[in-house]
Amino acid sequence: MLSQTIADFTTLAIAAGGWMEMDRLYLHNRILGMIGEDQLDEFDVHPVTRPSTELLDELVATAQKNHVIDDTLSAIEILEGELMDFLTPPPSVVNAFFAQHYANDPQEATDYFFELCKNNDYIKTRAIAKNIYFPVETPYGELEITINLSKPEKDPKQIAAERHAVTSNYPKCMLCMENEGYKGRVNYPARTNHRIIRMNLDGESWGFQYSPYAYYNEHCIVLSEEHRPMEISEQTFARLLQIVEVLPHYFAGSNADLPIVGGSILSHDHYQGGNHTFAMAKAPIDRLFVLKDYPTVVAGTVKWPMSVIRLQATDKALLIDAATHVLETWRNYSAPELNIVAFSEDGTQHHTITPIARKKGDFFELDLVLRDNNVSEEYPDGIFHPHQDVHHIKKENIGLIEVMGLAILPPRLEKELQEVEKYLLNQDNELAESHRPWAERMKASYTFSTENVREVMEKEIGNIFTRVLEDAGVFKRDDQGQRAFEAFTQTL
């Protein structure tokens, strides 16, 4: 059985395009050595129907049985990466295949690369499948809620090993190109089976890869070859529009470049994209206005809980100039009566933009989400950040993905919500105190049964996520806020 598993794994390796049939014996022997075996019995060479991950599990289990590796998470992941590297052609070959497919059709190229990254387990499809997902209808369209359960929890042995591990600044961060092919270590993930497609963006060298723990379909990352901080500028708009020109079936967006309103990695210039239509992309323009210096650019505010300006044009250069004008104006704009303040007394900048680019037929489209990272005594975590009364559900930064209408909620909620459910059904429970006011409000508003409790809770979580986005909006959706938003657009 093991011999057949090795033979089938080798067949998949050859099919991936990095090896030829002549390499079969060599691959058999390499795999044998890596899992602590020393001989191969009889096997057949036939079409393989079992998934690569199933074969991988058997090989890793054999390595553990033979004491080649211990049972720590890092040891298992390093071996998995080294084995799956056989199913992954070298970077030069992957890039050549991508270019070959791209010559036929951009989507054919991304389909090739996406399938490769799933088959070689770089994209952790089995872990991603554990995430809890549900859509919720709101006044702003259908928002998407996920509870992120995909990243494996570290056991005490792994935590202890990491504590005693030597620190290193290579690779400099999780997004650097030096990750490609990196073996990994106790305190750094294995990347042996990782591949990056090279791109030229605005005259610079960039890379295109998929996210290992994807939040949506074909979740990709476009990263600068140079390790440098995130920055929103005219070049950002130019690069985002170039990405959607090169990959017109994808959107591309950037996290903001300031703390509190930015994403989790501000140390490396990068963008995210993918083949997914978020609720924000479907949201209509609710008020058109004219950009004085760019009258041929369609401009309007979007019906969305956050403050979004949508720009559309067929001329990419004109759109970049118009977006830069909005960015520069917003960076210097204040409305103190609404706690919107561009600079602190010491000159610290507080305004930036979360931009999202799309290609719609002949038109290029940019959504510019206005962000402000000021704090106050009342809101020490951020004035335009989830407020304290919703922290029981979401208190983390609102980054690009949430901005577009997909909630990424913390894994703690899986167990906590089970206790809320028991409380609502009058069962024995260990309700967290942070959820008590919410649970009591629900109990006073609904009659619960085992049939409807989950549906009501999901709807309520959707309402809370809507509130989270409204908290992050600089011009609120009330009369005062919308008048102020209109006053800002008039300055444009």
Give yes or no for residue 187 having a pLDDT over 80: yes
How deeply is 152 buried, as exposed, middle or buried, from its count of CB atoms within 10 A (0-12, 13-18, 19+)? middle
pLDDT tens digits for range 52-84: 999 999 999 999 999 999 999 999 999 999 999
Average pLDDT over residues 348-364: 97
What backbone phi and psi angles, to 5 degrees, belong to 122?
A: -70, -45
Predicted local distance difference test score (pLDDT) of residue 132: 97
Average pLDDT over residues 116-141: 97
As given in the structure block, the two tokens for residue 441 are 């409000």
Distance of alpha carbon 351 from alpha carbon 278, whole angstroms: 24
Which residues fall within 8 angstroms of residue 174, CB to CB, at 6 or more apart?
189, 265, 268
pLDDT tens digits for range 434-448: 999 999 999 999 999
Predicted local distance difference test score (pLDDT) of residue 196: 98
- The three-class DSSP label of residue 179 is helix
Predicted local distance difference test score (pLDDT) of residue 168: 84
- The three-class DSSP label of residue 30 is helix
Predicted local distance difference test score (pLDDT) of residue 161: 65
Average pLDDT over residues 376-395: 96
Predicted local distance difference test score (pLDDT) of residue 78: 97
What backbone phi and psi angles, to 5 degrees, belong to 194?
A: -90, 135
Q: What percentage of the chain carries pLDDT values higher than 90? A: 95
Predicted local distance difference test score (pLDDT) of residue 388: 96
Average pLDDT over residues 386-415: 96
Q: Are 434 and 423 in contact (CB under 8 A)?
A: no
Average pLDDT over residues 470-485: 97
Distance of alpha carbon 340 from alpha carbon 28, whole angstroms: 64
How deeply is 429 buried, as exposed, middle or buried, from its count of CB atoms within 10 A (0-12, 13-18, 19+)? middle
Give yes or no for residue 167 having a pLDDT over 90: no
The DSSP bridge partners found for residue 69 are: none
Q: Global pTM?
A: 0.95
Predicted local distance difference test score (pLDDT) of residue 164: 65
Average pLDDT over residues 107-117: 98
Predicted local distance difference test score (pLDDT) of residue 153: 65
Average pLDDT over residues 181-202: 95
- Mean pLDDT for the chain overall: 96
**Rounded-to-5 percentages of helix, strand, coil across the chain:** 40, 20, 40
Nearest residue to 211 via CA among 283, 144, 168, 263 = 263
Q: Are 11 and 87 in contact (CB under 8 A)?
A: no
Predicted local distance difference test score (pLDDT) of residue 263: 77
What is the distance, to the nearest Å, from the Cα of residue 10 to the centroid of all Cα atoms in its chain?
32
Average pLDDT over residues 231-245: 98
Domain extent listing, the chain? 2-125
Give yes or no for residue 154 having a pLDDT over 70: no
pLDDT tens digits for range 251-310: 999 999 999 998 778 899 999 999 999 999 999 999 999 999 999 999 999 999 999 999
Distance of alpha carbon 307 from alpha carbon 487, whole angstroms: 13
